[in-house]
Amino acid sequence: MVKTTIYLPDELKRRIEHAARERSVSEAEVIRAAVDAAVPPLERPRPTLPLFNSGRGDLVERWDELMEGFGRD
Protein backbone atom coordinates (compact mmCIF):
# COMPACT_ATOMS: atom_id res chain seq x y z
CA MET A 1 0.00 0.00 0.00
CA VAL A 2 0.99 3.59 -0.52
CA LYS A 3 0.62 6.13 2.26
CA THR A 4 -1.51 9.14 1.29
CA THR A 5 -2.29 12.23 3.35
CA ILE A 6 -5.63 14.00 2.97
CA TYR A 7 -7.27 16.98 4.64
CA LEU A 8 -10.80 16.44 5.95
CA PRO A 9 -13.40 18.81 7.33
CA ASP A 10 -13.85 18.32 11.09
CA GLU A 11 -17.38 16.96 10.71
CA LEU A 12 -16.30 14.34 8.15
CA LYS A 13 -13.41 13.28 10.39
CA ARG A 14 -15.87 12.77 13.26
CA ARG A 15 -18.12 10.67 11.01
CA ILE A 16 -15.17 8.50 10.00
CA GLU A 17 -14.13 8.05 13.64
CA HIS A 18 -17.70 7.08 14.54
CA ALA A 19 -17.98 4.60 11.64
CA ALA A 20 -14.64 3.02 12.59
CA ARG A 21 -15.74 2.54 16.21
CA GLU A 22 -19.11 1.10 15.14
CA ARG A 23 -17.45 -1.40 12.78
CA SER A 24 -14.46 -2.14 15.01
CA VAL A 25 -12.06 -1.28 12.20
CA SER A 26 -9.44 1.40 11.67
CA GLU A 27 -10.27 4.83 10.29
CA ALA A 28 -8.00 3.96 7.36
CA GLU A 29 -10.17 0.93 6.57
CA VAL A 30 -13.32 3.08 6.58
CA ILE A 31 -11.67 5.54 4.20
CA ARG A 32 -10.36 2.75 1.91
CA ALA A 33 -13.82 1.17 1.72
CA ALA A 34 -15.45 4.52 0.91
CA VAL A 35 -12.92 5.34 -1.82
CA ASP A 36 -13.20 1.83 -3.26
CA ALA A 37 -17.00 2.19 -3.44
CA ALA A 38 -16.77 5.66 -5.02
CA VAL A 39 -14.07 5.10 -7.64
CA PRO A 40 -14.73 2.56 -10.40
CA PRO A 41 -11.94 0.12 -11.28
CA LEU A 42 -9.77 0.90 -14.27
CA GLU A 43 -10.96 -0.78 -17.43
CA ARG A 44 -8.47 -3.21 -18.90
CA PRO A 45 -8.74 -3.81 -22.61
CA ARG A 46 -10.27 -7.18 -23.40
CA PRO A 47 -7.99 -9.48 -25.33
CA THR A 48 -8.91 -10.03 -28.94
CA LEU A 49 -8.96 -13.40 -30.61
CA PRO A 50 -6.81 -15.22 -31.42
CA LEU A 51 -5.26 -15.16 -27.97
CA PHE A 52 -2.56 -17.55 -29.08
CA ASN A 53 -1.37 -17.92 -32.64
CA SER A 54 0.06 -21.35 -33.30
CA GLY A 55 0.95 -20.41 -36.83
CA ARG A 56 -1.16 -23.33 -38.03
CA GLY A 57 -4.68 -23.06 -39.33
CA ASP A 58 -5.46 -26.78 -39.42
CA LEU A 59 -5.36 -27.73 -35.72
CA VAL A 60 -9.11 -28.30 -35.44
CA GLU A 61 -9.21 -30.47 -38.52
CA ARG A 62 -6.24 -32.53 -37.24
CA TRP A 63 -7.48 -32.81 -33.62
CA ASP A 64 -8.02 -36.58 -33.64
CA GLU A 65 -4.65 -37.19 -35.27
CA LEU A 66 -2.83 -34.88 -32.86
CA MET A 67 -4.51 -36.32 -29.75
CA GLU A 68 -4.03 -39.97 -30.75
CA GLY A 69 -2.17 -41.71 -27.94
CA PHE A 70 -2.40 -38.77 -25.55
CA GLY A 71 -2.61 -39.93 -21.94
CA ARG A 72 -1.56 -43.49 -22.65
CA ASP A 73 1.38 -44.99 -20.84
9 within domain boundaries: yes
31 within domain boundaries: yes
Per the structure, the count of domains in the chain is 1
Q: Is the overall model pTM greater than 0.85, yes or no?
A: no
24 within domain boundaries: yes
Q: How far is CA 61 from CA 4, 50, 54, 66, in A?
A: 57, 17, 14, 10
68 within domain boundaries: no
Give Rg (Cα) of the chain.
Answer: 27
The domain that holds 22 is classified in CATH as: 1.10.1220
7 within domain boundaries: yes
Domain of residue 36: give its range: 1-40
25 within domain boundaries: yes
pLDDT digits (tens, 9 = 90+) for 12-67: 999 999 999 999 999 999 999 999 999 998 988 877 776 677 777 888 888 898 88
